[in-house]
Amino acid sequence: MSHLILQSPTLSPENVEKIAAQVSADGVQELGPTAVRILGADITEKETVRDMCRTMRMDFAFFDQIRLLRECKILAMDMDSTLINIECIDEIADMAGRKAQVAAITEAAMRGEIKDFAESLTRRVALLEGVPASALENVLEERLRLNPGAENLIATAKKHGVKTLLVSGGFTFFTERLQERLGLDACHANVLEIKNGTLTGRVVGTILDAHGKAARLQELSQQLGATPEQIIAIGDGANDLEMMRHAYFSVAYRAKPIVQQQANFALNVSPLDAVLNWFRLSW
């Protein structure tokens, strides 16, 4: 028998009881106003639970055991549409009236329809040629917001000794500022070329693509001796999948269908710090 964590910003006791009955539960333990742990759940009902949770607007996660958060070693996250609320490149393009063109390529890449992320990024960045570098600061100040629960997730992970890694197919202008703001241990992203105060439409150096994201996570996991069971990796797009395969706690956050299908867990309605309810924070 397993533990089943149910979460929703609008958790209904009636819906919880329906699922508890479906999985022949031994009991229900409240974890707070938005989460419960169902004890002794029958995991063979997982597909039925998935369908019920989709209808009831709840997130679910089955576990054989609930581990201590401090037993994890790495929290790895994507940036655009995962840690933050926007796709930065789309918003930069909007400053130049080119958002529709760029966003269409972004969406196709995140859905996995464009297999070569580096090629898609090159095409999108080319459309930024001539945009004033000041547009980056405008996007940061006016449009970029952390997704709900991001600060608490990262602060709690750090408190429990988990190393935090931000790996993005986006740009260092944003990752570096987020690293400073949140105290992230490491971040990797792409460098936009700027000359005479304007974007040239090119990326400096090798593009950080899906393989690059996975490689950065592998490097850190080797340094720390982290096994997949000690890694949490959160993403939303197809270029996160290779990184997420190195983590047992692979989490699809508001993700594209291809990511939902391949991740071990999903957060479709709950905030990022809902991950914390999968662990014990103390004995």
DSSP string, 162-178: -EEEEEEEEEHHHHHHH
Three-state DSSP at 236 gives: coil
Tokens found for residue 138: 């405008």
Q: Which residue shows structure tokens 């593009």?
A: 207
Q: How far is CA 106 from CA 15, 114, 149, 252, in A?
A: 37, 9, 25, 18
Burial 59-75, CB ≥16 within 10 A → b, else e: bbbbbeeeeebeebbbb
Where does residue 134 rank: exposed (0-12), middle (13-18), buried (19+ CB within 10 A)? exposed
pTM of the full structure: 0.96
The answer to whether the beta carbons of residues 237 and 78 sit under 8 Å apart is yes
Backbone φ, ψ for residue 235 (5° rounding): -155, 175
Which residue type does 265 have? F
| Residue (of 212, 214, 211, 222) closest to 191 by Cα position | 212
78 is catalytic: yes
Cα separation, 24 vs 42, whole angstroms: 6
The predicted structure's pLDDT at residue 115: 85
Catalytic residue (one of 80, 90, 209, 236): 80
80 is catalytic: yes
The answer to whether the beta carbons of residues 153 and 75 sit under 8 Å apart is yes
Q: Longest C-alpha distance within the chain, in Å?
A: 67
Rama region for 161: left / alpha / beta (φ>0; ψ in -120 to 50; rest): left
Q: Which residues pair with 203 in a beta bridge?
A: 192
User: Tens place of pLDDT for every residue, the chain, 283 residues?
Assistant: 899 999 999 999 999 999 999 999 999 999 999 999 999 999 999 999 999 999 999 999 999 999 999 999 999 999 999 999 999 999 999 988 999 999 999 999 888 898 899 999 999 999 999 999 999 999 999 999 999 999 999 999 999 999 999 999 999 999 999 999 999 999 999 999 999 999 999 999 999 999 999 999 999 999 999 999 999 999 999 999 999 999 999 999 999 999 999 999 999 999 999 999 999 998 6
Cα separation, 168 vs 232, whole angstroms: 16
End-to-end CA distance of the chain: give it in Å, rounded. Answer: 21
Cα separation, 18 vs 4, whole angstroms: 13
The predicted structure's pLDDT at residue 283: 66
Catalytic residue (one of 78, 90, 236, 273): 78
84 DSSP assignment = B
What structural domains does the chain harbor? 1-66 (3.30.70.260), 69-85+146-283 (3.40.50.1000)
| Residue (of 171, 201, 205, 163) closest to 188 by Cα position | 171
Tokens found for residue 139: 């996007």
Strands in 120-276 per DSSP E = 163-171, 186-195, 198-204, 231-235, 249-253, 265-267
